[in-house]
Amino acid sequence: MRDYKLEISRVVRSKEKARASYDRLSRWYDLLSGRFERRYRDAGLRMLDARKGEVVLEIGFGTGNCILALANAVGAEGKVCGIDISPGMCSVAETKLRKAGLSDRVNLQCGDAARLPFESGLFDAILMSFTLELFDTPEIPVVLDECRRVLKSGGRICVVAMSRGGKQGPILRLYEWFHKKLPSYVDCRPIFAEKMMDDAGFHIRNVVSMNMWGLPVEIVLAQKQT
């Protein structure tokens, strides 16, 4: 049987280049793609359904739109942590939080999510929106293992990702061609999020398929086994 992971394009860009590229993008991100990706992020937030008093982590929080929504959802008695590799993104997100008066319930860290700087069993829920696709194929299980480690038993994880799972139309093939030719600019690539989360030992609870200009998007809600 063919290994589905071999069908995913590899990521050739280094972490340093990813950091530099998101730093450059950070001031324009909301204008360029933040608004268009909102539908999918919001669907992920709804599926994760963060509640009052929960401790929640977002990986690759970007300009902080979901961090803000999560901070409102968990309330003053909850806590939101975030990790992002780009100092530029961290600074944009911190400014938004300060303006919204929510900094006291949020802890943002700048770093690589392949090694999460959090103790085991800390979080009720984790959100990852358009970020798991940025890790190279062998590193995706490492990131998901880290997520499992820092989740409480029974904790939830929601991944919003471009999907390689469904039918491969011409737009998807064209997008993958651009990813191969211009890996520094077209950095995300479609992955098998549900399969990879299942392989990582999560219990899949719900999968919603959406479409972004002909590109399939998968929103997967899963749970750490109790």
Ligand X SMILES: C[S@@+](CC[C@H](N)C(=O)[O-])C[C@H]1O[C@@H](n2cnc3c(N)ncnc32)[C@H](O)[C@@H]1O
158 binds ligand X per the rule CB under 6 A: no
- Residue 214: which of 166, 180, 176, 169 has the closest Cα? 169
Draw the binding track, 17-36, toward ligand X (x: CB under 6 A; -: no contact): -x---x-----------x--
Q: 28 or 53: whose CB is closer to ligand X?
A: 28
d(CA 193, CA 217): 10
Draw the binding track, 108-127, toward ligand X (x: CB under 6 A; -: no contact): ----xxx-------------
Draw the binding track, 168-207, toward ligand X (x: CB under 6 A; -: no contact): ----------------------------------------
- Please name the residue that has the structure tokens 């919003």: 160
Phi and psi dihedrals of 145, rounded to 5?
Answer: -65, -40
d(CA 197, CA 59): 15
Count, residues in the chain: 226
Residues lying near ligand X in the complex (CB under 6 A) are found at 15, 18, 22, 34, 37, 41, 60-62, 65, 83-86, 89, 112-114, 129-131, 134
